[in-house]
Amino acid sequence: MELKKLKRISEYEWEISPVGDMKVPGKIFASQKLVEEMDEKVYEQVCNVASLPGIVKASIAMPDAHWGYGFPIGGVAAFDPEEGGIISVGGVGYDISCGVRTLLTPLEKNEVIPHLETLVKMLFETVPSGVGSEGTIKLSPSQLDEVLVEGAKWAVKKGYGIPEDLEYIEEKGCMPGADPSFVSMEAKKRQHRQIGTLGSGNHYLEIQYVSEIYNQEVAEVFGLFKNQVVVTFHCGSRALGHQIATDYLPVLAKAARKYGIPIKEKELVCAPIDSPEGESYFKAMVCGINCALANRQVITHLVREVFQEIFPGIFLKVLYDVSHNTCKVEHHLINGKLKKLYVHRKGATRAWGPGRKELPKEYQKVGQPVIIGGSMGTASYILVGTEEGEEKAFGSACHGAGRTMSRNQAIKTFRADQIIENLRKKGIIVMAKSKKGLCEEAPEAYKDVNEVIEATCKAGLTKKVAKLIPIGCIKG
375 annotated as a binding-site residue? yes
Q: Which of 76, 79, 74 is nearest to 261 (CA)?
A: 79
Mean pLDDT (whole number) for 97-124: 98
Answer yes or no: are the C-beta atoms of 325 and 236 closer than 8 Å. yes
Work out how many domains the chain is built from and give that number: 1
Beta-strand ranges (E) seen in 299-450 are: 317-323, 325-334, 337-346, 349-350, 369-372, 380-385, 396-397, 429-432
The residue range of the domain holding 113 is 3-475
475 annotated as a binding-site residue? yes
pTM to 2 decimal places: 0.96
277 secondary structure, DSSP code: H
Distance of CA 275 to the CA centre of its chain: 27
Q: pLDDT class for 405, splitting at 50, 70, 90?
A: confident
- CATH code of residue 7: 3.90.1860.10
179 annotated as a binding-site residue? no
Helices (H) and strands (E) in the chain, counts: 15, 19
Beta-strand ranges (E) seen in 48-128 are: 55-66, 73-79, 86-88, 99-108
pLDDT at 92: 98
Cβ of 354: how many Cβ atoms within 10 Å? 17
203 annotated as a binding-site residue? yes
Using the predicted structure, report yes or no on whether residue 250 has a pLDDT greater than 80.
yes
Give residues with Cβ within 8 angstroms of 80, minimum separation 6: 54, 56, 334, 339, 340, 341
* CA distance readout (Å), 23 to 42, 45, 172, 340: 18, 14, 35, 19
Using the predicted structure, report yes or no on whether residue 261 has a pLDDT greater than 90.
yes
Q: How far apart are CA 294 and CA 155, in angstroms?
A: 6
Identify residue 314 by its one-letter amino acid code: I
* CA distance readout (Å), 61 to 27, 35, 47, 350, 352: 6, 10, 10, 14, 17
pLDDT at 467: 98
454 annotated as a binding-site residue? no
Query: Taking all residues of the chain, what is their mean pLDDT, rounded to a whole number?
Result: 95
396 annotated as a binding-site residue? no
Beta-strand ranges (E) seen in 45-88 are: 55-66, 73-79, 86-88
Q: Just list the catalytic residues.
A: 399
Taking only the tens place, the pLDDT of each residue in 45-59 is 999 999 999 999 999
